[in-house]
Amino acid sequence: MRSLRQRFATQVERLGRYTPGKLRYTGPMWRSLSAVFSSAFLLLSPLAAHAQPDARASFAAAFQETLQRPTDAPTLLKYARLAVQIGDLEAAVSAYERLLMIDGDQPRIRYELGVLYYRLRSYEAARAYFATARDSPKSAPDLKAGAAEYLAEIDRTIGKSRFYGDLLFGLRYSNNANDANAGAVSFYGASVLPNPSFSQRPDVAAIGAARLRHRYDLGTQDSGTLETDLDIYSARQFQVTEANTLLFDMTIGPRTQPFEGAFREVTLKPFLAGRYISVHDQPTYWSWGAGIEATAKPRDWLKTTLVVQGRRRDFIDNADAPTNARSSGNDALAGLKVEAELAADVRLTLGIAATRYIASIPSESYRELGFGGSLDIGFTDPLGLNGRKWHLTGSAGGAVAGYDAPDPTVDPLVARTQADLTFGLLLAVPLDDRFTLVGQTSYFQRTAPFGNYAFQAFNSLLGVSWRF
């Protein structure tokens, strides 16, 4: 019996969306990445750019035909297949559902709808269509078997245990390699790296990142789910190896909906957190702690998240930073994030966070206020390459910090202050349902009264992400 992946490839081929095996993960990771880069080349080639407008023109013509013959089955079927071909799965769903309104006893059409809803990750809708296709006495044996395999896959996907995430591989250029990773790691938490003497040395780095998520349904009446999140970031410099960075960041805790009535949409998640960072392939920093996260959706388009946590930070002395351990201490953090769906393809995110850190010595203790936001805009493929929706995300943020006392090794009279400023722009171009071509550019600047703490960098990255 063929695997579910093979059935899926055959199914979408018959619907006119893909060539068999194209952009599918069917072997070792190197083979998958090779397919991605080959596909990216094809997407950017004049031939691909020329072919796609023809498909979209045929789709537009088929749409006009459906307006003239809204109950003609061959016309609707042609429109649905062209919709899948250009990536408009919602239009294909609409056409197939209209076919069912004409004749509801169509197990093949129900199977097609199940495939489309599965690709749209609407698993419960997909389950309903696959179940009726499997149980219909008119279904052929291969159709029944295919529907059963999809139903088993859905059970694995949305069952008690779910594992999913994203992987990113790419190359990044920075005009200041010593700073580039400091700016990148600051995404996971402020002041987690030592402060070397920055020398504005340009370099290229191979970047790898992963966001891994596991959810386990606890089966409780309050919709309890055990959530485990692991973020991994690695940068391997081509020349400035002292800037090599490795980061692991993990949280785990149960999320529940403990309230009823007006507060039913509020969820609470107490969690444990841990973090590890190495710089120049040397252990640099550990932290562990606990906190609580509360989320609320006062409107369908609005979501707020409040986080309060405390941590122990242990900096480790090493050859590059022999006095690193004096920065060890305890911190408390409170942060608020607001996400708003301003329109169908426009999402705004704003956040603010306050940190109080008490180190083993006053000159390493500080107060910090951070703030930032991003605007994500989705738009139709402007080049007609594959008809999928692109996303452009602009971001800006900053942080100001003041230290409790002067550092006698730097200036015994002046306490350190610093201000960070970041700007970023990211373009995501989907290659298929799982692979995305990512281009990013960012600017990071830190100002301080002492030259060895002040630095800036301009970074650009090109990579491919894989969602699973």
pLDDT score of 43 more than 70: no
Over residues 363-375, the mean pLDDT reads 95
Express as a percent the part of the chain with pLDDT over 70: 84
Q: Are 456 and 439 in contact (CB under 8 A)?
A: no
Round the CA-based radius of gyration of the chain to a whole number and report it: 26
Question: Mean pLDDT over all residues of the chain?
Answer: 82
- How much is the pLDDT for 380? 87
| Contact criterion met (CB below 8 Å) for 401 and 366 | yes
What is d(CA 426, CA 459) in angstroms, rounded to the nearest whole number?
A: 12
* Residue 107 backbone zone (phi > 0: left; psi -120 to 50: alpha; other: beta): alpha
Q: Which of 96-100, 141-145, 259-263, 428-432 has the highest mean pLDDT?
A: 428-432
Q: What is the pLDDT of residue 44?
A: 37
- Indicate the pTM of the whole model: 0.67
Handedness of CA 141, 142, 146, 147 (dihedral sign): negative
- Whether residue 22 is predicted with pLDDT greater than 50 in this model: the reply is no
What angle is formed at CA 17 by the lines to CA 435 and CA 431, rounded to 5 degrees? 20
pLDDT digits (tens, 9 = 90+) for 112-146: 999 999 888 788 889 889 988 998 888 888 888 88
Structure tokens at 341: 């769906």
Residue 283 has pLDDT above 90, yes or no: yes
* Domain at 161-467, CATH class: mainly beta
What's the mean pLDDT in 388-396? 92
**76/182: higher pLDDT:** 76
d(CA 285, CA 278): 7
Asked if the model's pLDDT at residue 337 lies above 90, the reply is yes
Give me the architecture of the 4-158 domain, per CATH: Alpha Horseshoe (1.25)
Question: What's the mean pLDDT in 422-431?
Answer: 93
Domain boundaries, the chain: 4-158, 161-467
**Is residue 443 over pLDDT 70?**
yes
* CA-closest candidate to residue 146, choices 119, 120, 117, 108: 108
Core vs surface per residue 23-58: b (16+ CB within 10 A) or e: bbbeeeeeebeebbeebbebbeeeebeeebeebbee
Say what the pLDDT of residue 140 is: 87
| Token code pair at residue 247 | 């980061």
Residue 4 has pLDDT above 60, yes or no: no
Within 8 A by CB and 6+ apart from 26, the residues are: 5, 32
| Residues 191-216, mean pLDDT to the nearest whole number | 74
Give residue-wise pLDDT tens across range 229-263. 999 999 999 999 988 999 999 999 999 989 877 78
CB atoms within 10 A of CB 124: 9
Query: What is the DSSP pairing of strand 389-403 with strand 203-217?
Result: unpaired
User: What band does 211 get if pLDDT is binned at 50, 70 and 90?
Assistant: very high
pLDDT of residue 63: 85
Instruction: List residues bridging with 320 in a β-sheet.
Output: none
